[in-house]
Amino acid sequence: MISLQNLRKTFSLHGGEATVLQFDSLEIAEGETLAIVGASGSGKTTLLNMIGGLLLPSFGEVFVNGVEVTQLKESARDHFRAKHIGMLFQSFHLLEAYSALENVELGAFFSGHAGKKEDAKKLLEDLGLPLHFHRHPSQLSGGQQARVALARALVGRPKVLLADEPTGSLDFEAREDVLGLILSMAKSRKMTVVCATHDEHAAQAFDRRVVLS
């Protein structure tokens, strides 16, 4: 499902080059759940952004669902991401001007997903927010916001979910809750999940862990 070959990312800093990430090969199977662990600065976000085509590697290839993402032009990469990849961020990036339901509907719109309204409602219900459709993000708890952001990421039925420390700002209970939802959605939809986390305990719930150093 996801294949990284001879991948390297360097940034130029102070006139020199710093290599922040290097992989000879990383293969992630369809439906596999993978935790990326590593200290702050080890390259977790960089890796997720390269899989999602938000960032190009300095060398090497990224394949997602058989498509060499690294060969696509920017607009084609944006289109590919919208259609096949769901993204979940630590700070959720919900739009305050819109209700929970509208945030999820916007996700459906941008992924080009036909079902829209009914799917958005059903997903919010499935994720345990049947009474929160019309609340705005600031009227929701952190755990509830995480679930709205998860619904928005999943409403387009992506084959891949990329999550960057999605539970980093939550307390223990909400963290377990949101992780459980991510992993059960992965199983029921055969969706591949790549999730960056600082949390060793959380990482144990995934099929596999990759440690970056």
Ligand X SMILES: Nc1ncnc2c1ncn2[C@@H]1O[C@H](COP(=O)(O)OP(=O)(O)OP(=O)(O)O)[C@@H](O)[C@H]1O
- The contact set with ligand X (CB under 6 A) reads 11, 13, 20, 38, 40-46
Min CB(190)–ligand X separation in Å: 27
- Can you tell me the distance from the alpha carbon of 98 to that of 103, in angstroms, rounded to the nearest whole number? 6
Report the partner that residue 168 touches, choosing among Mg ion, ligand X, none (CB closer than 5 to 8 A by kind): none
Comparison of 38 and 142: residue with beta carbon closer to Mg ion: 38
Rounded CA-CA distance 102/114 in Å is 15
Contact call for residue 167 and Mg ion (CB under 5 A): no
Burial of 55 (0-12, 13-18, 19+ CB in 10 A): middle
| Shortest distance, position 157 Cβ to ligand X, whole Å | 27
Q: Given the rule CB under 5 A, which of 42-50, 55-63, 104-112, 117-125 is the region that contacts Mg ion? A: 42-50
Environment class of 94 (CB within 10 Å of its CB; exposed 0-12, middle 13-18, buried 19+): buried
Per CB under 5 A, which region of 38-46, 113-121, 139-147, 179-187 contacts Mg ion? 38-46
| Per rule CB under 5 A, count of chain residues that contact Mg ion | 2
- By C-beta, is 31 or 38 nearer to ligand X? 38
Report yes or no: 150 and 179 within 8 Å, Cβ to Cβ.
Answer: no
- As measured in angstroms, the least distance from the Cβ of 78 to ligand X is 19
Q: Does 90 engage in binding with Mg ion (CB under 5 A)?
A: no
Please give the helix or strand (H or E) that residue 189 lies within, else none. Answer: helix 172-189
| Stretch of 23-31, 37-45, 60-68, 94-102 contacting Mg ion, by CB under 5 A | 37-45
Q: How far is the CB of 146 from ligand X (least distance, A)?
A: 17
- Compute the distance between CA of residue 127 and CA of residue 169 in angstroms, rounded to an integer: 19
Looking at beta carbons, which residue is closest to Mg ion? 45
**Contact (CB, 8 A) for 21 and 47:** yes
User: Exposure of 13 by Cβ count < 10 A (0-12 exposed, 13-18 middle, 19+ buried)?
Assistant: exposed
Closest approach, Cβ 45 to ligand X, in A, equals 3
**Cα 124 to Cα 117: distance, rounded to the nearest angstrom:** 11
Q: Are strands 85-89 and 160-164 parallel, antiparallel or unpaired?
A: parallel
The only residue of 33, 45, 167, 192 in contact with Mg ion, by rule CB under 5 A: 45
Token pair of 185, please? 């959605």
Minimum CB separation from Mg ion for residue 212, in Å? 10
Q: Which of 3/49 has CB closer to ligand X?
A: 49
